Amino acid sequence: MQIEHPVRQRLVRELYIDHHGWLFGWLRKKLRCPSDAADLAQDTFVRVMQSDGLAQLREPRAFLTTTAGRLLIDHLRRRKLEQSYLAAIALHAPDVAAPSAEEHQAALETLAALATMLEMLPPKPRQAFLMYRLEGVPHADIAARLGVSVSMVKQYLAAVLMQCYRVLHG
């Protein structure tokens, strides 16, 4: 059910006033980083504002926990991807001096662009890519989890790799 704009604003404002402090504390305990917790709390309320089920919300903390939990998983996956990328760079170039501040910033910007691209993908290709690259899940297991063929998993991975190439090389 779509609700009127002023009503939606009031509901979100009340939800924010009543639960932001609690949500921030919950995220801070999970992340052990106040700035990341603040960012994820903010992102959670952005998602809440976009939600269609706001008027029927009966358990706000459960809803916020679920929404924030999903964002937390995405955040941790991005962090793991960043760490994997930096570890791969270190593995392939152990003799090279530490990257300069500019190179480090460029690498972080590239990772942010890759993360943004991954977030914009349809769920199944994104999940297939993350399972394969970050968790090392074999194609057959990915296919079973996603309910698609192994051939489709390979197509997903190829398409995502092409997107990664475009992000990296324009």
pLDDT of 5 reads 74
CATH topology of domain 1-78: Rna Polymerase Sigma Factor; Chain: A (1.10.1740)
CA 151 to chain centre: 26
* Domain ranges, ordered by start, for the chain: 1-78, 97-170
DSSP state of 96: S
Termini Cα distance of the chain: 42
Give the mean pLDDT of the chain. Answer: 87
As assigned by CATH, the class of the 97-170 domain is mainly alpha
Confidence at 94, pLDDT banded by 50, 70, 90:
low
**Mean pLDDT confidence for 112-136:** 90
**Helix segments in the chain, DSSP class H:** 5-31, 34-50, 60-92, 101-120, 123-135, 139-146, 150-169
pLDDT at position 1, please?
A: 46
* Residue 54 DSSP symbol: G
pTM: 0.53
**Token pair 């662009």 in the structure block, residue:** 113
Residue pLDDT, tens place only, 23-44: 999 999 999 988 899 999 998 9
